[in-house]
């Protein structure tokens, strides 16, 4: 099992925003046991929609394993609200418009489009996902953290490009052993 150590004081204290615009500290996203913090690229991203659809498929298993799941994007609060309304999202979603939480969590900010992303876009499209209007920083890449209740990062994955996928069955296995 990987153990990346405690979340830094800077990440713990970093501010993200709720859908009603309230500022909350990143550390307040943590649950009583483990928390899966899923970072998405931007609120119009076809790949992010695919990622969230995958998370929804595993949500009941995560809950049964006492694993809280939250999503952090990077657009403005109105962009986040519009996204949630458009896709009917019901899990906790926060936004990090400055990108500071993404950066402190080790998520990359880089141009992420290439041949692999095109292939993933075709797969996403054929599975029913659609690209929305860009709503956030298109250079920001996503990823995920698995953090225990004491703030120890047990696993981290930083996407290298748009279209990187997450094997939620593997995340669940890791979470159960964290």
| 68 bridge partner residues | 35
Q: How many CB atoms within 10 Å of residue 73?
A: 31
The two three-digit tokens of residue 104, written as one number: 């402190």
Describe the strand order of the beta sheet including 67-73 as a list of residue ranges.
5-6, 152-158, 143-147, 34-39, 67-73, 93-95, 15-17, 23-25
Domain segments of the chain as ranges: 5-177
* Cα–Cα distance measured from residue 121 to residue 162, given in angstroms and rounded to the nearest whole number: 9
Give this prediction's pTM: 0.84
> Do the beta carbons of residue 174 and residue 34 sit within 8 Å?
no
* Cα–Cα distance measured from residue 60 to residue 39, given in angstroms and rounded to the nearest whole number: 20
Work out the angle at residue 54's Cα, subtended by the Cα atoms of residues 52 and 60, and round it to the nearest 5 degrees.
100
Along the 178 residues of the chain, how does pLDDT read in single tens digits?
A: 455 799 999 999 999 999 999 999 999 999 998 999 999 988 887 777 888 988 999 999 999 989 999 999 999 999 999 999 988 999 999 999 999 999 999 999 967 667 676 566 567 668 776 667 776 788 799 999 999 999 999 999 999 877 677 888 888 888 877 6
Overall CATH class of domain 5-177: alpha beta
* Cα–Cα distance measured from residue 70 to residue 153, given in angstroms and rounded to the nearest whole number: 15
Radius of gyration of the CA atoms of the chain, in A:
15
């Amino acid at each position: 099992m990987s153990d990346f150590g405690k979340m830094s004081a800077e990440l713990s204290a970093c501010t993200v925003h709720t859908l009603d615009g309230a500022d909350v500290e990143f550390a307040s996203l943590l649950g009583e046991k483990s928390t899966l913090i899923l970072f998405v690229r931007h609120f119009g991203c076809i790949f992010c929609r695919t990622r969230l659809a995958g998370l929804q498929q595993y949500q009941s298993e995560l809950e049964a394993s006492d694993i809280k799941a939250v999503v952090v994007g990077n657009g403005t609060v109105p962009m986040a609200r519009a996204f949630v309304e458009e896709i009917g999202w019901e899990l906790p979603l926060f936004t990090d418009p400055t990108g500071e939480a993404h950066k402190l969590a080790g998520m990359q900010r880089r141009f992420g489009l290439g041949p692999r992303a095109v292939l993933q876009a075709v797969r996403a499209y054929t599975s029913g996902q659609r690209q929305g209007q860009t709503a956030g920083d298109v250079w920001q890449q996503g990823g995920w953290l698995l953090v225990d209740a004491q703030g120890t990062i047990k696993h981290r994955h930083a996407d290298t490009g748009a279209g990187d996928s997450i094997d939620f069955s593997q995340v669940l296995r890791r979470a159960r052993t964290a």
